[in-house]
Chains A and B, each alone.
Chain A
Amino acid sequence: MKTMEKRLLLLLFLVPAMLRSQGFQVNLQGQKQQAMGSAGTALVQDAAILFYNPGGASFLKKSEINAGFTPIFARGKFVDANTNASARTNSPMGTPFSLYGAFGFKKVEKLKLGLAVYTPFGSTVQWEDGWTGRFALTRLELKAIFVQPTVSYKITDKIGIGAGFVYSTGSVNLQKDIPVLGNDGNYGHAELAGSAAGFGYNAGIYFQPTEKLSFGLTYRSQVDMKVDDGEATFTVPDALNANFPDGKFSAALPLPQIASFGVAYKFSDKFNMAFDFNYAGWKAYDTLAFDYEKNTTSLLDTKSARSYKNTYAFRLGGKYMVTKDFTAMAGISFNTTPVKDGYVTPETPDADRITYTAGVSYKIGEHISLDASFLFVSLKRKDKNLETNLDGTFKTNVCAPGIGFNYKF
């Protein structure tokens, strides 16, 4: 039976076409999980389980603090299909971080309380000056920080449940040129900036039927990031100032609901594998609407179709304990893109993607360990946008080396 079980699981782990979902989502949570292809719903490794599966936090043996930082170096290029005009991004380094604390109590051993602070979404895309798509976008900065207080309870030796409340705060800054030209030879420019906030929750169940096998099931609710009091600033030739009045605007960006199912198996004392499947409700991102407080014939409220579709992802990771203190990890994942043909924009030139990850974990002492991970993904997408007619190929390479720190007490 044991061998049969192993074989079935191996088969499951080796399903070749592995998928996964993105949009403007940054899947960088916990160095160990990152290193394992972001598979972590069914594998309790450290306090990052608060993000991956709040139900699993109750299976942490001690109190833990885990901090991680993963600079993202994303470099993009666009080549216009009709004119061969090309442009690169000069995007600044992305700085996602995560901080997880899970705390146990001697009197109620089955309970863990946790606090997670992390950046699940966000990026800055900055295109080269004067690029051919500048009337679609010159810069987009999205930031979101989630604060998630969490309760996790071990119902039996085999089952844990948990739930967290999510408060999110963030900001958006979108800039593009306006095709009105001044005598100085400069085009107009629009900057839409505002802060956004939203609420949500997550919940999960962790089930460990045997010592070697575990399952996880989680759900994260949709979080609507609403900008109510944004500032729209327009720089245009003097003669057109009345047509483009500065003023307030409102907009909303949905961060999708996500359901995940995971399996993990301990093949030996040294070798574990984890597998996640997740499904994200990107369909909620149907329209990017800007509602301006002051409208003119030149400045109407805009509704740009985004028409995202739901996405799914397969994530697979393994870890191998090389020595008592040193563990190596690797993973791979496949995401489908939420962006349909005809809707690819310079904001998120997204594509179906395969992500490769690797990492190491070093135990420095009884309480402390250090983690490092590396992620690489390359995206390529040819499309003609239905709204702007921007027609060409986007290619983006993302390198994200991360470091993390664990303290158990």
Chain B
Amino acid sequence: MKLKFALVISTAVAFTSCKPKLDADTPEKGNMDPTRFVSLGGSTTAGFADGALYAEGQENSIGNILATQFQLVGGGSFLQPLMPSSSVGIGFTGKSKSILGYKTDCTGTTSLSPIPFNAAGGDLAALGTSVYTSPFNNMGVPGVKANELVFPGYGNSANGAGNYNPFFARMASNPTTSSVLSDAMATNPTFFSLYAGEQDILNYAISGGGAATITPVNGAAGVGFDGSITTAVTTLTSNGAKGVIGNIPDVTLYPFFNTIPYNGLKLDAATAQLLTNALGQQGMSFAAGNNAFVIQDNSLPLGARQIKPGEYILLSIPLDSVKCNKMGSLIPIPEKYILTLEEVANIKSATNSYNAVISQVAATYGLALADVNTFLKSVKTGVVFNGIGLNANFVSGGTFSLDGIHLNPIGNAMVSNVFIKAINQTFGSTIPQVDATKYRGVKFP
């Protein structure tokens, strides 16, 4: 009987132990203090995506994702200058956010394409309305350059284009006097993230190396990259705050520059012969199949040549003109849609110089260094997170939003993890990375 009793008991014990106990270690903050966290930077930090600032993008901004993870180790609330949740969003040129929809091109072909969510335009009213009540923790400002972070009155429209940013005006404590940096300091931060400088190069890149210049590497605060970053970090650390700084990705890997192949000019034999006849004396030749597009090049006597491998055609190009109006063949693609080898070299050179400054500043001020550049290079060749494959292809790659430049929520989550890893490594914390599978990529109709 004793044996039977023992068996009954042991069976009962075995049953209750059938539910496995398995718990993660409790996250630790190490020697960083997440109590008051402020996030500074440009569009990516702001949560700008799909060509616009809108609430969902802001909620999935790198700053907000980091703040959410910091809250696991005692971080405080994270106030953002949120757009109204129902807003169609507002972009740099007044458009609404883009969504993936169907578009019929000049040849009558209907296919999936980014289309404006609201054809009538973006939410100018929201852009013109101040949302300031108390200092914001997300001081990411769409379009802000590193050398503009320190600029007082950056929200003052009287300063004119280049010295004024309406996205800052709507969130500034005092648009006529405050700077991004001074408003960030108003939060009295104990920890900060700084991810700035991308826009300093991007403006040049997306204008085809034309309208905008690259912020010089050296120069005083408000002029050069190094002076501006150093001033920002000196100020941010002045009360003992620690922080993380992200380096700058090579923007030429963005889908905006890689979606239209340089040799996307498909010709049949007859058309190729016609083009060779017409343009042969300019040193161009065409054959049946894929050919390099014809682009504008004002350095040449006749002002045109074929694009070379390693040069990029921008996503801003009017595709209907290419498909139906001979742009890229008889009509050269205008320079503003092209990055030439020289322009690409300028971009890469500036990126390397900026990143050298960022590494130096990180070392000097004891900041964690998030190597976003290396990470996004790995995205270019493809990464896998818990079974989700991500790459830098437009739409299908998942990482980038429909503007081909700014990240999707899942892209932000992945980059946030680069920041978290750097923070943990530098400050001995064990802040969990974010589960990127909970963040979306491109939505399909």
Contacts and interface: CB of A to CB of B under 8 A. Distances in A.
12 contacts: A75-B18, A79-B24, A86-B23, A86-B24, A179-B441, A182-B444, A236-B444, A237-B445, A238-B444, A239-B100, A396-B20, A399-B18
Contacts of B19: 75, 397
Contacts of B22: 77-79, 86, 380, 393, 395
A45 interface: no
B24 A360 contact: no
Interface stretch (B224-232, B254-262, B343-351, B432-440): B432-440
Contacts of B100: 239
Interface centre among B21, B417, B443, B444 (most CB of A within 10 A): B444
Interface residues of B, number: 42
The 6 closest A-B pairs by CB, nearest first: A135-B387, A237-B444, A84-B24, A388-B387, A399-B18, A395-B20
Interface of B: 3-4, 7, 10-11, 14-15, 17-25, 27, 99-100, 102, 112, 383-389, 398, 417, 432-435, 437-438, 440-445
B377 to A, nearest CB: 17
Contacts of A360: 4, 7
A396 B438 CA distance: 24
Contacts of A358: 7, 10-11
Interface string A377-406: 010100000011110010111110100000
Contacts of B3: 322, 328
B24 A179 contact: no
A141 interface: no
Contact of A390 (B4, B387, B432, B442): B387
A83 B433 contact: yes
Given A77-B22, A132-B437, A374-B14, A179 B432 contact: no
Interface residues of A, number: 48
A79 B23 contact: yes
Contact of B443 (A75, A78, A181): A181
A378 B20 contact: yes
B11 A132 contact: no
Interface centre among B100, B102, B435 (most CB of A within 10 A): B435
Contacts of A399: 14-15, 17-18
A374 B24 contact: no
A252 B60 CA distance: 42
A136 interface: yes
A305 B384 CA distance: 16
A396 B20 CA distance: 6
A77 B20 contact: yes
A73 B386 contact: no
A82 interface: yes
Given A181-B443, A397-B18, 4 more contacts: A77-B20, A179-B387, A374-B7, A393-B22
Contact of A179 (B11, B102, B398, B445): B398
A360 B15 CA distance: 17
A75 B15 CA distance: 11
B7 to A, nearest CB: 6
B272 to A, nearest CB: 27
Given A179-B398, A397-B20, A401-B11, A136 B443 contact: no
Contact of A83 (B7, B10, B432): B432
Given A374-B11, A397-B19, A179 B389 contact: yes
Nearest to A396: B20
Contacts of A85: 435
Contacts of A407: none
Contacts of B445: 182-183, 237-239
Interface in A154-209: 176, 179-183, 185
Contacts of A376: 14, 17-18
Interface in A221-263: 236-240
Contacts of B443: 181-183, 185, 237
Contacts of A82: 417, 432-433
A30 B445 CA distance: 54
A75 B388 contact: no
A117 B18 CA distance: 28
Contacts of B384: 387-389
A380 B20 CA distance: 10
Contact of A239 (B112, B389, B432): B112
B259 to A, nearest CB: 16
A301 interface: no
A75 B20 contact: yes
A128 interface: no
A133 interface: yes
B11 to A, nearest CB: 5
Given A132-B435, A360-B7, A389 B444 contact: no
Interface string A23-53: 0000000000000000000000000000000
Given A77-B20, A79-B22, A84-B24, A135 B388 contact: yes
B27 A84 contact: yes
B28 to A, nearest CB: 12
A281 interface: no
Contacts of B432: 82-84
Interface string A321-339: 0100000100000000000
Interface centre among A85, A180, A238 (most CB of B within 10 A): A85
Contact of A389 (B112, B385, B440, B441): B385
A185 B445 CA distance: 10
Interface in A5-20: none
A83 B413 CA distance: 11
A132 B14 contact: no
Given A84-B432, A395-B22, A183 B444 contact: yes
